[in-house]
Amino acid sequence: MAARSDFLIAEKTLREIASLCIHLDGLPLAIELAASRLKMLSCSDLLRMLPGRLALLKATSRDLPGRQQTLVSAIDWSHDLLGPAERLLFTRLSVFVGGCTLEAAESICSSWGSQPELDVLDCITSLVDNSLLRVTEGRRESRFWMLETIQEYALTKLAAGPATEALKERHAAYYLALAEEGAGALHGPDQMDWLDRLEREYGNLQAALERYLGSGRPWEVLRLCTALEWFWYRYAHFSDARRWLTAALKLATERGLPAASHPGASLPASTTPTPGDEDGWRQVQIAAGRALRALAWLLMVQGEWPQAKDSYQESLATAKRWGDARGEVLALSGLGVAERWLGERSAGSGHVEAAVQLARELRDPLSIALSLIWAYSTTGGKYSGEPPLAQLEEALELARRLGDPWCVAHAFNGLGDLLTELGDYKSARVNYEKALKSFRELSDDWLVAWQLEGLARVSLLDGDCEGAVRTTQESLRLFDEIGDRANVVFMMGRLGMVLRRAGCRARATSILGAFERLEREILGAANRGAHSPDLAAALSTCKEAASESWAAGQAMSYAQALAYSLASPDAGKE
């Protein structure tokens, strides 16, 4: 490189150069100015300093024309060509994270205090023409966005003060309203359109969360978190969801929620409801209870079942105390599922059945459908008394009437589990395959992985060991991709059992050895629940034999056990 004759391009440096070019938006001048800094700085230094790129990217030579001496000068040249209204909108648009629609720009930026209303469409057209704004045509609407470099410049024009705070407040309020509108549609026929829309607006939604959290407003942050609960799960934003929900609940606890003994007892007047507004305070308490339930669901999805149980119990108590009947149904259902996964089948069955009864009393079709699904589609086909075929068919019919493809798919999953238990493997496979197709279309990777687990069980019971191995590995791989280590370990146990049936004893023993150790380390004793009789017997036999294969598995790290489990099985049988 011209800046440094001794510059060596190692693999790590190539990755850093590529990252620099991406963050500099591929702008030739920005890249040239960054390269000139390599006389004194490494690529790692430049990447770390990029958030201050406007001050950093200056020419070290005076041979360039004035407007190319600094990145700011180059952007100034385009900015100075704008009229007053266009400059004003350019500055206001910097409040968006990841771009916006025309509707959002008009709603948030068209007027500001006593200043005249802007013609947003005309101004946006000019900004696009001057390369200060980009446009992407979507299936339903166009999206306008700034390059990272341009947005950083625009933010420098956004002066601190009441007017800017008002702009940010309007931005947060707009996306809170959008999230709440979307939450009402996520169990209907338009759910995928709404999920995709929320994904496109995720940067703006997180900016709204940051504003409400940073300003200590539990009412708004709890509302936004609970509105995003289903979106976070469906698009596997598990880490983000836990971070935001944990922070929201911490703020609520600091304000005396959800344990306040009467409305308004501990919350300051800075929160939206005013002192004495009993219904407003009740809604804050309900939102806190729903956030607890949302956190419990994510904990359960990630295999932290005792913690999920605790959160569900607290959510249930809050829902009962403050009269949130629909929240009570969902908390009862979730608590029952968590208890059954922990081996507390009697308590779990009592809670899911109570949820169904309460949902029927409410006469809310969605609550009834969901309670039936949690009661009878999450048991792995196990039941006491008569097979719950009628209940699953009722859930399926309700889901179809509601136009909720997710509930329909989950009912098919429950039917697959039940029919497997009843020995009707052909019909079970049909239902699993219907559920698998739907969950793939719905982008629910967690339940895709569970349908693969069901199909693997059917294959094994039907004598297709090769198919069972392949499908179990596919399920295991998908659980790893979405970060669900608890179920990766669970599926390692399943894979070990399948390989034993397939005749690959040494490989099966190593995988079971890894499973036994990782289950203790990753899940802990409280999270493991009871093993099936077959798995318990296999683990005991392998452990007592103390073979080299068992020792090899016991010595594997998580990454090594994962790679070993996903490798092609031994061709030979022992």
Q: How far apart are CA 532 and CA 539, in angstroms?
A: 11
Report the run of H or E that residue 144 belongs to, with start and end: strand 142-145
Residue 462 backbone dihedrals phi, psi, to 5 degrees: -90, 5
Lowest mean per-residue pLDDT among 296-305, 526-535, 553-562:
526-535
Across the range 316-335, mean pLDDT stands at: 95
Peptide bond connecting 258 to the previous residue in cis, omega within 30 degrees of 0: yes
Across the range 146-169, mean pLDDT stands at: 86
Q: How far apart are CA 153 and CA 147, in angstroms?
A: 10
Res 32: pLDDT: 52
Q: Per-residue pLDDT for 51 more than 70?
A: no
| Residue-wise DSSP of 506-524 | HHHHHHHHHHHHHIIIII-
Report the run of H or E that residue 538 belongs to, with start and end: helix 533-545
Q: How far apart are CA 496 and CA 511, in angstroms?
A: 5
Q: CATH 1.10.10.10 occupies which residues in the chain? A: 81-158
Across the range 150-179, mean pLDDT stands at: 89
Q: How far apart are CA 246 and CA 260, in angstroms?
A: 19
Task: Extract the runs of DSSP E, i.e. beta strands, from 346-455.
Answer: none
- Tell me the β-bridge partners of 144: 100, 135
Exposure on the CB side of residue 113, measured as CA atoms within 13 A: 11
User: Regarding predicted confidence, which is higher, 281 or 461?
Assistant: 461
CATH code: domain 81-158 is: 1.10.10.10
Going by C-alpha positions, the residue among 522, 516, 500 that lies closest to residue 551 is: 516
Confidence of residue 256 (pLDDT cuts 50, 70, 90): confident
Q: What would the 3-class secondary structure string for 154-198 be?
A: HHHCCCCCHHHHHHHHHHHHHHHHHHHHHHCCCCCCCHHHHHHHH
Q: Per-residue pLDDT for 41 more than 70?
A: no
Across the range 496-516, mean pLDDT stands at: 92
Across the range 264-285, mean pLDDT stands at: 59
For 324-460, the fitting CATH number among 3.40.50.720, 1.25.40.10, 1.10.1040.10, 3.90.79.10 is 1.25.40.10
Lowest mean per-residue pLDDT among 40-54, 143-157, 332-346:
40-54
Angle among Cα 240, 242, 243 to the nearest 5 degrees reads: 65
Q: Are 557 and 517 in contact (CB under 8 A)?
A: no
Calculated CA dihedral for residues 240, 241, 246, 248, nearest 10 degrees: 100
Across the range 447-458, mean pLDDT stands at: 96
DSSP state letter for 321: H
> How many CB atoms are located within 10 Å of the residue 529 CB?
13
Residue 130 backbone dihedrals phi, psi, to 5 degrees: -95, 10
Q: Per-residue pLDDT for 73 more than 90?
A: no
Q: Per-residue pLDDT for 22 more than 70?
A: no
Across the range 192-202, mean pLDDT stands at: 96
Across the range 91-106, mean pLDDT stands at: 95
Those residues with Cβ within 8 angstroms of residue 161's Cβ, 6 or more apart along the chain or in another chain: none
Q: Per-residue pLDDT for 66 more than 70?
A: no
Tokens 């969901």, residue located: 370
Confidence of residue 114 (pLDDT cuts 50, 70, 90): low
- Tell me the β-bridge partners of 142: 137
Q: Which residues of 202-213 are buried (b: 16+ CB within 10 A; e: fewer)?
A: bebbbbbbebbb
Whole-model pTM over 0.85:
no
Q: How far apart are CA 444 and CA 57, in angstroms?
A: 43
Q: Are 269 and 242 in contact (CB under 8 A)?
A: no
Res 168: pLDDT: 94
Res 282: pLDDT: 84
Confidence of residue 17 (pLDDT cuts 50, 70, 90): low
Alpha helices in 442-504 (DSSP H): 445-461, 465-481, 485-502
User: Regarding predicted confidence, which is higher, 200 or 53?
Assistant: 200
Confidence of residue 64 (pLDDT cuts 50, 70, 90): very low
Q: Per-residue pLDDT for 261 more than 80?
A: no
Q: CATH 1.25.40.10 occupies which residues in the chain? A: 324-460
Confidence of residue 272 (pLDDT cuts 50, 70, 90): low
Q: What is the pLDDT of residues 365-418, one digit of tens each?
A: 999 999 999 999 888 777 777 899 999 999 999 999 999 999 999 999 999 999
- Mean of per-residue pLDDT scores for the chain: 85
Q: How far apart are CA 30 and CA 21, in angstroms?
A: 9
Calculated CA dihedral for residues 188, 447, 409, 468, nearest 10 degrees: 170
Q: Per-residue pLDDT for 327 more than 90?
A: yes
- Could you tell me the sign of the dihedral formed by the alpha carbons of 365, 302, 249, 175, in that order? negative
